[in-house]
Amino acid sequence: MMFKCAWCKKKIKENGPIFGLNVKFAEEANLNKEGGKIIQVYIKSKNISVPMIVTAADSEAKKHGQDGIFAVCSEKCGNKLRETLQEDLRFKFTNFQI
C-alpha cells in the first residue's frame, strides 16, 4: 500500500521509513463503520484536510486506546502535524512512533 505524508503530502516509498502519529479523540466519536479505512480529517485552523487511518475495533492499536493514526514521512512532519492538531480540541495524543 502506498501512503502519502499527512502533513507534506509527499509519497512515502514502499520500503521507506514511515512514522505514525497516534491519536485518541477527546470526545467519543463513532467511527466503528470506518475502522481500517483512511478518512479525511478537516483541520479548521489551517483550512486543510489530512488523511487519517481509523483503527479497527479489534486491532492492537484500538486495544491500546488509539482511535486514529496519521502516517507521516518524518519526525519533522509529525511534530508539525501534532502542533497543528493540538489547536483542535478533538484530539489527545497517545504517542508518536517511528
Asked if residues 35 and 55 have their Cβ atoms less than 8 Å apart, the reply is: yes
Q: Which residue is associated with the grid cell 484536510? A: 49
User: Can you give the pTM of this predicted structure?
Assistant: 0.80
CA 37: distance to chain centroid? 12
From first to last of the 98 residues of the chain, give the pLDDT tens digit. 678 999 999 999 988 899 999 888 766 666 667 778 898 988 888 888 999 998 888 888 888 888 889 999 999 999 999 888 887 656 655 554 43
Amino acid 20: pLDDT: 92
φ/ψ bin of 48: left (φ > 0), alpha (ψ from -120 to 50), beta (otherwise): beta
Asked if residues 12 and 4 have their Cβ atoms less than 8 Å apart, the reply is: yes
3-state secondary structure 68-88: EEEEECCHHHHHHHHHHHHCC
